C-alpha cells in the first residue's frame, strides 16, 4: 500500500483493508470523501502505468548470470498448520514469522535476500538512477495544493525544493495574509527512516491543533497537541491510535479511536481532555464484534459527532450533538447485508444505503434516502434518489442550494449536480477513459462545486463549477515539468472474459505506437474489496511510455467499476473470476496486437499481490515478469489466525476457513499453497518489515518456497524495506527510488533499452 503523489484513483476500499496504498495525507483525510463517513471506504490507490521500446539487449538472466551469487536458501522446518475441522497442512517456512521482528535467523534471511537483490541489481543501477532522475525531474518541487476555506482560514499544503515532506499551513481571511505553519513535517521527520502524519485537526475555535504521527510504519499512531496562538506543544500524548481525530465544540475534548495493540483493530472510541493524563481518557464506545472497523467524524453542518462502524456487509452509526457529545444514539441498528452511511444538513439526515424496499428488494447499486433529525429507525427513511441497475451511487456531498452525487456507469465515474427542484446535470468529461470525483468542498454555503479530474494522459486537475451559471474555473493542474500530454494517447477497450462477461480495460501509450504485436506491455490489476481502479495520471509511468511500452489497467471483477454486482462476482466463492478476468484481458491485448505474447509484465500490490500470485500459478506462460508489492499470498494460514490484523474483518471478503467449504475454496487459489514444480516468470517481490496490512512473512515464505519449485531459471528478487510498513518508504522522493528499482528490473527482463 504506497501513498503516491500521482495515483490513479481508488474508491470504496475498506478502511485498513489489504489495499496497495497508505491513508491519504492529513488534508485529504480530513475531507477525503464525497461526505464525511466515506473515510471508511475511500482510500487512494497507488496504480502503475507503462510503455517501452524494443531492443536486443540481454537481460540479467543471461548476460550476468555467471557473475551472480546463488540466491539465499531458507532452512526448512516442518510445521503443521491445523484447521478446526481437522485439515492439516505442512508449512516448511512458518518459522519465518516473528511478531517481534527480532529473530536473528529470520533477519539473517531477509538481509541475505536484500544482499542478493543488491548483487542482481548492481549492473542495472545506472538505469535505475536514470529512471529515478526522470521521475523526480517531472515533480515540481516547490508545489502547493489548492487552498480551501474553513471557519475563516485558508488551509493548504506546500512543498519546498529538495525536501521530502509537506508543510501544512493556513492563512486567515485572505491568501495574502501572513502564513501560519501548522506542521513542518520535514523538521519532524529529521533523523527518522520513516515518518508520517496521518491526520490533523484544528479545534472549532481555530486555536488548538491535534495531529497523529507514526515513525515506524506500522500504523500505530501517537497524538500530540499544539496551541496555535502561542506555538507551545502540550505535554499531552496519546499512543496506540488510528489517524482519525474529531474535536468537540468545547475546544478541549478530542475524540479518537484506540487500536488493539495485537490485532491493530479499531476497537474503542475514547475522548481526551486537554491537560489530563491519557490514562484517564474516558471510554465512549467499544466495539465487541471484531469483524467491524471503526471511525469518528463530524457531520456536514457541524451539528453532530458520529461514530461509524463498518464491516464488509453491514454498517452502523451512532451520533451525538457536537455541543454536548455524551449520549450517542444509533441512527439505525446494524443488520447483515444492510450498508449505510449518513450525513446531516438542512435539518435532516441524508443516507446512502443498499437497504431493501418494502417488498424486500435490496438496492444493490445503492440509493439515497432521507430521515428526520430525531430518527433512530429505518422505518423513518424515505426514498429520495432511487437505485438503478445501470448506475452505481458512490457517494454525495450536501450544499445549501444543491447536492452533488458521485456515480458510476459503464465503468467510469461521473458527478451529477441535483437542484432542489429535481433538475440535474452531469459534469462533463472530454476523454474516453478518465477519473472524476468530488474534491475538497469544506463549506456548504456556496454555489461553487469543486471536483477533481485526471486521466492516463491528463495530470491531476481541480476545477470549480458554478452550479447556478455553469461557469467553470480551472483552479489547478498539477505541473509536470517536461511532460507534453499531446504526445500520448489513452483508449478504453472491452475484453471478453471466458464466461462472456465484458471487462473494461483502460490503456495508454505514446503516439507513434504500432499495434503490430511487438511491443512490451505492463498490465495492472487489483480486484478486491470493491476498490475501483480508475484511470489516472501517473508520473512514474511516463518513463515507461517514453520507452515504447503499452500500459493497461484491467478493471476486473472484485472491484466496483461496473457496480455492486461487479464486486459480488469477484469475492468469496466467485473469487476465481478475478484471476481469470486478468488472464483473459492479457490474452485479448496480445491478440489485438497491443503486445508481444512474450513481452508481457503484470503488476499488483497487497490484495493485488494475491492476484499476481494466482496468475503466476494458473498461467505462468502468459507473463515474462511479475512485479508484486506487499503481496497477500498466504491466504488460508493468515485467515485461520484471528490474531493477525485484518483477519476477522475480512471473513465476508474471502471466507472463514474455519468452515470446511471456505477452506477448500480458498486453498484452491492461495498462491503459497499452489506453488508447484513449473517454470515461473521472473519476479520482483517487495515488502516492508513493519507491514501491518500484509505481514512481511507472507512474501518471505512465498519466495523461499518459490525458489524450491521454480524450474525456469528466471531471476527472482525479494526486497524487504527494513524500516517501513505497508506503504514503503515515506517522503515524496524516497519512494520513487523503490519504484525505479522495480521498473529497471522489469525493463531489463522485457528487453527494453
Residue 2 has pLDDT above 50, yes or no: no
> What integer is the mean pLDDT of 283-310?
96
Q: What are the distances in angstroms from CA 494 to CA 342, 344, 505, 691?
A: 35, 40, 6, 36
Q: What are the distances in angstroms from CA 159 to CA 165, 166, 198, 243, 298?
A: 7, 5, 17, 22, 29
DSSP state of 629: E
Q: What are phi and psi of 487, to 5 degrees?
A: -90, 0
How high is the pLDDT of residue 419?
A: 92
How high is the pLDDT of residue 82?
A: 97
Residue from 403, 307, 314, 302 nearest 350 by CA? 403
How high is the pLDDT of residue 733?
A: 78
Cell of 180: 501560519
Give the contacts of 117 (CB within 8 A, at least 6 positions apart).
717, 718, 719
How high is the pLDDT of residue 262?
A: 82
Q: Of residues 637 and 42, which shows the higher confidence score?
A: 637
CA atoms within 13 A on the CB side of 557: 27
How high is the pLDDT of residue 156?
A: 97
Residue from 51, 70, 52 nearest 715 by CA? 70
Q: Which long-range contacts (CB under 8 A, 24 or more apart) does 614-617 make?
A: 614/578, 614/579, 614/669, 614/671, 614/674, 615/579, 615/582, 615/583, 616/671, 616/680, 616/681, 616/683, 617/669, 617/671, 617/674, 617/675, 617/676
Give the contacts of 101 (CB within 8 A, at least 6 positions apart).
107, 689, 690, 696
Residue from 714, 698, 718 nearest 645 by CA? 698
How high is the pLDDT of residue 313?
A: 92
Triad 432, 750, 121: Cα angle to 5°:
120
Triad 198, 528, 257: Cα angle to 5°:
30
Whole-number Å distance between alpha carbons of 493 and 505: 5
Residues serving a catalytic function are 606, 691, 726
Q: pLDDT, tens digit, for every residue of 708-751?
A: 999 999 999 999 998 765 555 566 777 899 999 999 999 999 99
Q: Which residue has the cell 488551509?
A: 155
Per-residue exposure over 569-587, b if at least 16 CB sit within 10 Å of its own CB, e if not:
bbbbeebebbbbbbbbbbb
Q: pLDDT, tens digit, for every residue of 630-667?
A: 999 999 999 999 888 778 889 999 999 999 999 999 99
> What integer is the mean pLDDT of 467-479?
95
Residue 14 has pLDDT above 90, yes or no: no
Q: What are the distances in angstroms from CA 284 to CA 289, 296, 300, 310, 377?
A: 16, 11, 22, 17, 22
Q: What percent of the chain has pLDDT over 70?
A: 90
Burial class (CB in 10 A: 0-12, 13-18, 19+), 632: buried
Q: pLDDT, tens digit, for every residue of 680-713?
A: 999 999 999 988 778 999 999 999 999 999 999 9
Q: How far apart are the first and last CA of the chain?
A: 29
Triad 578, 583, 584: Cα angle to 5°:
95
How high is the pLDDT of residue 728?
A: 53
Q: pLDDT, tens digit, for every residue of 158-180?
A: 999 989 899 999 999 999 999 99
Q: pLDDT band at residue 26, thresholds of 50, 70 and 90? A: very low
How high is the pLDDT of residue 719?
A: 97
Whole-number Å distance between alpha carbons of 343 and 327: 18
Domain ranges of the chain: 9-15+48-97+492-750
Give the contacts of 466 (CB within 8 A, at least 6 positions apart).
447, 448, 472
> What integer is the mean pLDDT of 71-87?
97
446 dihedral zone (left: phi>0; alpha: psi -120 to 50; beta): beta
CB 441 within 8 A of CB 397: yes
Q: pLDDT, tens digit, for every residue of 308-350?
A: 999 989 999 999 999 999 999 999 999 999 999 999 999 999 9
> What integer is the mean pLDDT of 192-204?
92
Q: pLDDT, tens digit, for every residue of 90-148?
A: 999 999 999 999 999 999 999 999 999 999 999 999 999 999 999 999 999 899 999 99
Q: pLDDT band at residue 529, thresholds of 50, 70 and 90? A: very high
Indicate the pairing of strand 682-688 with strand 716-721.
Answer: parallel
- For domain 9-15+48-97+492-750, which CATH number applies: 3.50.50.60, 3.40.50.1820, 3.40.50.360, 3.40.50.2300? 3.40.50.1820
Whole-number Å distance between alpha carbons of 527 and 584: 14
How high is the pLDDT of residue 578?
A: 98
Residue 40 has pLDDT above 60, yes or no: no
> What integer is the mean pLDDT of 276-299?
95
Give the contacts of 187 (CB within 8 A, at least 6 positions apart).
none
Residue 7 has pLDDT above 80, yes or no: no
Cα Rg of the chain (Å, integer): 25
For residue 464, the SS3 value is: strand
How high is the pLDDT of residue 735?
A: 82
Residue 233 has pLDDT above 80, yes or no: yes
User: To the nearest whole number, what is the mean pLDDT of the chain?
Assistant: 90
Residue 12 has pLDDT above 60, yes or no: no
CA atoms within 13 A on the CB side of 451: 26
Q: What are phi and psi of 33, to 5 degrees?
A: -120, 175
Whole-number Å distance between alpha carbons of 586 and 422: 44
Cell of 667: 486453498
Q: pLDDT band at residue 39, thresholds of 50, 70 and 90? A: very low
DSSP string, 681-699: PEEEEEEETT-SSS-THHH
Q: pLDDT, tens digit, for every residue of 492-505?
A: 999 999 999 999 99
Residue from 519, 456, 507, 521 nearest 483 by CA? 456
How high is the pLDDT of residue 213?
A: 95
Amino acid at each position: 500500500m504506497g501513498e503516491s503523489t500521482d495515483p490513479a484513483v481508488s474508491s470504496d476500499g475498506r478502511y485498513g483493508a489489504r489495499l496497495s496504498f497508505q491513508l491519504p495525507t492529513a488534508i485529504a483525510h480530513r475531507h477525503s470523501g464525497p461526505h464525511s463517513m466515506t473515510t471508511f471506504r475511500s482510500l487512494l490507490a497507488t496504480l502503475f502505468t507503462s510503455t517501452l521500446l524494443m531492443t536486443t539487449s540481454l537481460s540479467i538472466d543471461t548476460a550476468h548470470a555467471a557473475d551472480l551469487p546463488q540466491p539465499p536458501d531458507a532452512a526448512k522446518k516442518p510445521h503443521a498448520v491445523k484447521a478446526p475441522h481437522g485439515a492439516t497442512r505442512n508449512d516448511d517456512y512458518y518459522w519465518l514469522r516473528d511478531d517481534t521482528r527480532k529473530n536473528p535467523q529470520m533477519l539473517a534471511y531477509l538481509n541475505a535476500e536484500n544482499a542478493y537483490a543488491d548483487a542482481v541489481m548492481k549492473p542495472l543501477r545506472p538505469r535505475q538512477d536514470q529512471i529515478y532522475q526522470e521521475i523526480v525531474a517531472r515533480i515540481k518541487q516547490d508545489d502547493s495544493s489548492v487552498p480551501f476555506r474553513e471557519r475563516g482560514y485558508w488551509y493548504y499544503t506546500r512543498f519546498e525544493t529538495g525536501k521530502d515532506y509537506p508543510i501544512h499551513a493556513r492563512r486567515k481571511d485572505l491568501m495574502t495574509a501572513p502564513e501560519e505553519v501548522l506542521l513542518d513535517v520535514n523538521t519532524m521527520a529529521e533523523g527518522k527512516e520513516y515518518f508520517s502524519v496521518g491526520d490533523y485537526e484544528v479545534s472549532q475555535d481555530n486555536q488548538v491543533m491535534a495531529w497523529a504521527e507514526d515513525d515506524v510504519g506500522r500504523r500505530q499512531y501517537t497524538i500530540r497537541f499544539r496551541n496555535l496562538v502561542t506555538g507551545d506543544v502540550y505535554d499531552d500524548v496519546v499512543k496506540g491510535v488510528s489517524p482519525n481525530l474529531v474535536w468537540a465544540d468545547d475546544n478541549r475534548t478530542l475524540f479518537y479511536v484506540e487500536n488493539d495493540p495485537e490485532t491493530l483493530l479499531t476497537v474503542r472510541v475514547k475522548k481526551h481532555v486537554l491537560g489530563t493524563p491519557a490514562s484517564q481518557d474516558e471510554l465512549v464506545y467499544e466495539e465487541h464484534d471484531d469483524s467491524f472497523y471503526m471511525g469518528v467524524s463530524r457531520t456536514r453542518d457541524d451539528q453532530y459527532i458520529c461514530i461509524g462502524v463498518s464491516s464488509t456487509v453491514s454498517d452502523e452509526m451512532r451520533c451525538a450533538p457536537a455541543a454536548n457529545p455524551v449520549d450517542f444514539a444509533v441512527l439505525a441498528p446494524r443488520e447483515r447485508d444492510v450498508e449505510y452511511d449518513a450525513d446531516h444538513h438542512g435539518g435532516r439526515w441524508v443516507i446512502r444505503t443498499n437497504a431493501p424496499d418494502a417488498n424486500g428488494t435490496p438496492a444493490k447499486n445503492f440509493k439515497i434516502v432521507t430521515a428526520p433529525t430525531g430518527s433512530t429507525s429505518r422505518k423513518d427513511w424515505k426514498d429520495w434518489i432511487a437505485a438503478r441497475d445501470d448506475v452505481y451511487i458512490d457517494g454525495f456531498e450536501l450544499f445549501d442550494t444543491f447536492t452533488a452525487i458521485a456515480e458510476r456507469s459503464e465503468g467510469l465515474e461521473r458527478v451529477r449536480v441535483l437542484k432542489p427542484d429535481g433538475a440535474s446535470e452531469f459534469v462533463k468529461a472530454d476523454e474516453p477513459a478518465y477519473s472524476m470525483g468530488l474534491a475538497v468542498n469544506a463549506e456548504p454555503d456556496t454555489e461553487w462545486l469543486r471536483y477533481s479530474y485526471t486521466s492516463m494522459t491528463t495530470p491531476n486537475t481541480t476545477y470549480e463549477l458554478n452550479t447556478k451559471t455553469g461557469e467553470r474555473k480551472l483552479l489547478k493542474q498539477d505541473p509536470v515539468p517536461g511532460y507534453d500530454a499531446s504526445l500520448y494517447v489513452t483508449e478504453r477497450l472491452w475484453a471478453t472474459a471466458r464466461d462472456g462477461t465484458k471487462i473494461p480495460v483502460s490503456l495508454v501509450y505514446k503516439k507513434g505506437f504500432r499495434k503490430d504485436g511487438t511491443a512490451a506491455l505492463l498490465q495492472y490489476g487489483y480486484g478486491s474489496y470493491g476498490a475501483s481502479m480508475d484511470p489516472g495520471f501517473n508520473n512514474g509511468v511516463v518513463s515507461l511510455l517514453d520507452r515504447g511500452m503499452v500500459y493497461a489497467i484491467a478493471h476486473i471483477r472484485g472491484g466496483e467499476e461496473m457496480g455492486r454486482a461487479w464486486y459480488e462476482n469477484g469475492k468469496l466463492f466467485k473469487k476465481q473470476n478475478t484471476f481469470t478476468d486478468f488472464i483473459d484481458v492479457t490474452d485479448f491485448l496480445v491478440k489485438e496486437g497491443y503486445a508481444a505474447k512474450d513481452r508481457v509484465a503484470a503488476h499488483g500490490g497487497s490484495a493485488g499481490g494475491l492476484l499476481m500470485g494466482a496468475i503466476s500459478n494458473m498461467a505462468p506462460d502468459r507473463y515474462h515478469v511479475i512485479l508484486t508489492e506487499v503481496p497477500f499470498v498466504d491466504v488460508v494460514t493468515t485467515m485461520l489466525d484471528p490474531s493477525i490484523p485484518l483477519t476477522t474483518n475480512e471473513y465476508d471478503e474471502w471466507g472463514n476457513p474455519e468452515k470446511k467449504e471456505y477452506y477448500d475454496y480458498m486453498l484452491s487459489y492461495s498462491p503459497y499453497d499452489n506453488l508447484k514444480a513449473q517454470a515461473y516468470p521472473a519476479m520482483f517481490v517487495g515488502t516492508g518489515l513493519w507491514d501491518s496490512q500484509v505481514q512481511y512473512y507472507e512474501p518471505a515464505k512465498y519466495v523461499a518456497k518459490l525458489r524450491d519449485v521454480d524450474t525456469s531459471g528466471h531471476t527472482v528478487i525479494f526486497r524487504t524495506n527494513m524500516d517501513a510498513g505497508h506503504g514503503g518508504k515515506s517522503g515524496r522522493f524516497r519512494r520513487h527510488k523503490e519504484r525505479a528499482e522495480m521498473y529497471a528490473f522489469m525493463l531489463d527482463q522485457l528487453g527494453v533499452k
